[in-house]
């Protein structure tokens, strides 16, 4: 019989129970258990685990782990811990998650494109003022990040008729997307864009990347969408750009501190939409299929799915 697979991390008891049930249903023949309920022998025998941002001390309870499967797509909180071990970290790469993110990107791009942020203000001020229509092909939308989520988002924006630009670390060719890469081409990607959308991982290179000069490259009246990680945006620079009127609106789903502190200026800022980190929540139904495939591949061929590259940081 296969060893028990531990499941642990930053989950409430109901969340943990939900994942144990979903994993058990999706992967018959495997036994999943909460780490806290496993015997010392079961912990010894475990060679891989399912985790959700676990505290480092929990990993030490299973001394023979070869790899772990994260239930989340973003893994920046785990890098420091894993860099000190030989354990491979497999993040969640789920087409279901990418579709959900693409839907969120399209929803908010259309909201901003159709100037709903301005009509919202008009309603608050009892102002009746139709604005000229702008066609999507006359809007430039720049995606920062062309990974699993960025590429799916690009497809939905192209179908909608927007001019789509994308920016990544390495050279990319994506049909319908004007692709830029590397720090030297960031300006060209942002220059004159109407909407900039952040779908980058948080790394030392991307921390604070969206700062005053970068925001200044966007078209006057442009909008920012951050669906990646809060620390990629310089909050003070963003607030100053909104105050100056250069930036018209920001849709923020992620923040330096989450939940967003009650006294944070974003809450009451009329040019900011605050979302509670919901643009692409992990869905157990689609995520479990991905986890099932990775586990079967490992059991059958001892092959571990693509692991996070600790040197590049994502």
Residues tagged active-site: 229, 277
CA dihedral 281, 282, 285, 286 (to 10 degrees): 110
277 binds ligand NAP (CB under 6 A): yes
194 binds ligand NAP (CB under 6 A): no
Among 99, 163, 168, 286, binds ligand NAP (CB under 6 A): 168
Structural tokens at position 33: 């258990």
Distance CA(277)–CA(227), nearest Å, equals 8
State the binding string over 63-82 for ligand NAP (x if CB under 6 A, else -). ----------xx--------
The torsion region of residue 97 among left (phi > 0), alpha (psi -120 to 50) and beta comes to alpha
Q: Say which residue the tokens 């144990």 belong to.
A: 20
227 binds ligand NAP (CB under 6 A): yes
The DSSP string of 197-214 is EE-----TTTTT-B-HHH
Among 6, 9, 54, 147, binds ligand NAP (CB under 6 A): 147
Instruction: Return the beta strands (E) in the chain as ranges.
Output: 5-9, 32-34, 48-52, 67-70, 88-90, 140-144, 163-168, 177-181, 195-198, 222-226, 247-252, 272-274
169 binds ligand NAP (CB under 6 A): yes
State the binding string over 11-50 for ligand NAP (x if CB under 6 A, else -). ----------------------------------------
What contacts 51, CB < 8 A, 6 or more positions away? 7, 8, 9, 58, 59, 68, 69, 70, 71, 78
94 binds ligand NAP (CB under 6 A): no
Among 146, 154, 215, 252, binds ligand NAP (CB under 6 A): 146
Interface stretch with ligand NAP, choices 22-30, 62-70, 123-131, 197-205 (CB under 6 A): 197-205
Angle at which helix 284-301 crosses helix 95-113, to 10 degrees, equals 150
Q: How far is the CB of 122 from ligand NAP (least distance, A)?
A: 29
The number of residues that bind ligand NAP (CB under 6 A) is 28
112 binds ligand NAP (CB under 6 A): no
280 binds ligand NAP (CB under 6 A): yes
Q: How far is the CB of 174 from ligand NAP (least distance, A)?
A: 10
Interacting residues with ligand NAP (CB under 6 A): 73-74, 145-150, 167-170, 199-203, 205-206, 227-229, 253-254, 277, 279-280, 314
């Amino acid at each position: 019989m296969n060893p028990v697979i531990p499941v642990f991390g930053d989950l409430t008891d109901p969340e943990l129970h939900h994942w144990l049930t979903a994993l058990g249903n999706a992967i018959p023949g495997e036994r999943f258990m909460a780490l806290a309920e496993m015997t010392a022998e079961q912990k010894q025998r475990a060679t891989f685990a399912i985790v959700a941002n676990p505290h480092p001390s929990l990993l030490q309870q299973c001394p023979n782990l070869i790899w772990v499967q994260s239930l989340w797509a973003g893994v920046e909180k785990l890098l420091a811990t894993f860099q000190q071990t030989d354990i491979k970290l497999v993040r969640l790469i789920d087409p279901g998650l990418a579709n959900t993110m693409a839907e969120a990107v399209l929803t908010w791009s259309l909201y901003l494109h159709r100037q709903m942020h301005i009509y919202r203000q008009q309603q608050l001020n009892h102002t009746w003022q139709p604005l000229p229509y702008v066609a999507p092909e006359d809007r430039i939308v720049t995606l920062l990040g062309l990974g699993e989520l960025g590429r799916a988002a690009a497809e939905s924006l192209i179908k909608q008729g927007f001019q789509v630009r994308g920016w990544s670390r390495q050279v990319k060719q994506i049909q319908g997307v004007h692709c830029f890469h590397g720090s030297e081409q960031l300006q060209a990607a942002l220059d004159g864009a109407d909407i900039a959308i952040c779908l980058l991982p948080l790394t030392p290179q991307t921390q604070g990347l969206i700062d005053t000069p970068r925001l200044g490259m966007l078209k006057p009246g442009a909008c920012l969408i951050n669906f990646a990680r809060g620390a990629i945006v310089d909050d003070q620079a963003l607030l100053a750009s909104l105050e100056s009127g250069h930036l018209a609106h920001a849709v923020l789903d992620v923040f330096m501190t989450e939940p967003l502190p009650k006294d944070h200026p974003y809450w009451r800022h009329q040019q900011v939409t605050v979302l509670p980190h919901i643009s692409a929540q992990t869905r157990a139904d689609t995520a479990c299929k991905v986890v099932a495939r990775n586990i079967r591949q490992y059991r059958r061929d001892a092959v571990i799915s693509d692991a996070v590259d600790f040197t590049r940081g994502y």
